Chain A
Amino acid sequence: MRLLAAFVIGTIFGVGIMISGMINPAKVLNFFDLAGSWDPSLAFVMGGALLVAIPGYRLVWRRSGPIFDTAFHMPTKRDLDKRLIGGSAVFGIGWGIAGFCPGGALPAIGTLRADVLVFIAALIAGILLARMLQGMVPPAHTMAEPETERS
């Protein structure tokens, strides 16, 4: 049931990404192009998502724990450090170059388009490279949860 729930939740996310237009790099890049062919649609995506998640989270947290686990798994980091800001800046630069973010690209995999698959391969290479630089890629069986906020 836990895995089935996870799968269904993933489909809701994927359908939301498709309907919202986040799956389309042309639309994403136009959202960033304030001085050119600006398309403000994606502000409505963030608005809609937060409108549900802000009150929704607070309702969920009234429970003692989630349905299929013993406790909520919340990020523990609090510091506004160089990794957070530098990493986010590098992410934004890459997003502005390619037009895909991870949540926008993963639901596009099923189209089997070459450009989508090339981006996904590069995305995974970037993740692995960063994990190596962080010294967090020991042999798989000894893998520990990384300290960074998992989001």
Chain B
Amino acid sequence: METAFTPVASFGGGLLIGLSALLLMLMLGRIMGATGILSGVVVPVSGDFGWRAAVLAGMIAGPIVLTWVSGTAPVIDVPVSMPALVIGGVLVGMGVTFGGGCTSGHGVCGNARFSARSIVATLTFMAAAIMTVFILRHGIGG
């Protein structure tokens, strides 16, 4: 399935993601990582549950409000099967837990700190995703 090249919207969205990372550091002194925030809500740590639940609620509310204001729902096309979502979801959950972060935590915040761990993590998960898509789309049965 082809998708349109959207450099302006993607860059604008990226600026907002960067802004949220900067504001969370300024206000609460925390890393804006979706993995850490979700983990801290499903397995609460005493005294650290509240802010994570508030950020998570905001993450969910943002697109709902934007959809309501703009009258345009987000474009979400899922070109994979339900079993692929289940297998992929479990692997993502395990991987980000062992790897200590995901695209937001390592990819944005960690790389912005010039953290060696985050740079290595980002190169690793990007390369693994590119190889996986190549194998699934152009290798076996592709």
Interface residues, chain A, with chain B CB atoms under 8 Å away: 2-27, 29-30, 32-37, 39-42, 44-54, 56-57, 59-61, 63, 65-69, 71-75, 77-80, 83-104, 106-111, 113, 115-116, 118-131, 133-134, 136-137, 140-141, 143-145, 148-151
B: contact size bracket:
35 or more
Q: How far is the CB of B103 from chain A (nearest CB, A)?
A: 5
Bound-complex Cα distance A120 to B45 (A)? 20
Bound-complex Cα distance A137 to B45 (A)? 11
Interfacial chain A residues near B64, Cβ < 8 Å: 110
Q: In the complex, what residue of chain A is closest to B109 when comparing beta carbons?
A: A151
Contact flag A66-B27 (CB < 8 Å), given A16-B13, A21-B10, A77-B100:
yes
Q: How far is the CB of B114 from chain A (nearest CB, A)?
A: 8
Task: Please name 14 further chain A to chain B contacts, defined as beta carbons within 8 Å, in addition to the given A26-B77, A88-B121, sorted by A numbering.
Answer: A9-B32, A10-B60, A24-B3, A41-B5, A48-B17, A60-B22, A60-B25, A84-B121, A87-B98, A88-B99, A98-B92, A110-B67, A118-B82, A122-B89
In the complex, the answer to whether B116 meets A3 with C-beta atoms within 8 Å is no
Bound-complex Cα distance A80 to B53 (A)? 30
Summed over the interface, the residue pairs from A and B with CB atoms below 8 Å come to a total of 537
Interfacial chain A residues near B131, Cβ < 8 Å: 92, 96
Interface residues, chain B, with chain A CB atoms under 8 Å away: 1-7, 9-36, 38-40, 42-46, 48, 50-52, 54-67, 73-80, 82, 84-113, 115-118, 120-122, 124-134, 136-138
In the complex, the answer to whether B54 meets A6 with C-beta atoms within 8 Å is yes
Interfacial chain A residues near B22, Cβ < 8 Å: 52-53, 56-57, 59-60
Bound-complex Cα distance A140 to B85 (A)? 29
5 closest A-B pairs by beta carbon, nearest first, are A126-B93, A10-B58, A151-B105, A20-B13, A48-B14
In the complex, the answer to whether A2 meets B28 with C-beta atoms within 8 Å is yes
Interfacial chain A residues near B91, Cβ < 8 Å: 90-91, 93-94, 97-98, 126
In the complex, the answer to whether B130 meets A46 with C-beta atoms within 8 Å is no
Chain A interface secondary structure, helix, strand, loop or mixed?
A: helix
Instruction: Pick the most buried of A10, A22, A110: most chain B CB atoms within 10 A of its CB.
Output: A10
Q: How far is the CB of B44 from chain A (nearest CB, A)?
A: 6
Q: In the complex, what residue of chain A is closest to B36 when comparing beta carbons?
A: A150
Q: List 13 A-B contacts (CB under 8 A).
A: A13-B20, A19-B12, A20-B16, A29-B133, A41-B5, A46-B107, A90-B94, A92-B125, A93-B91, A94-B90, A96-B130, A97-B136, A140-B44
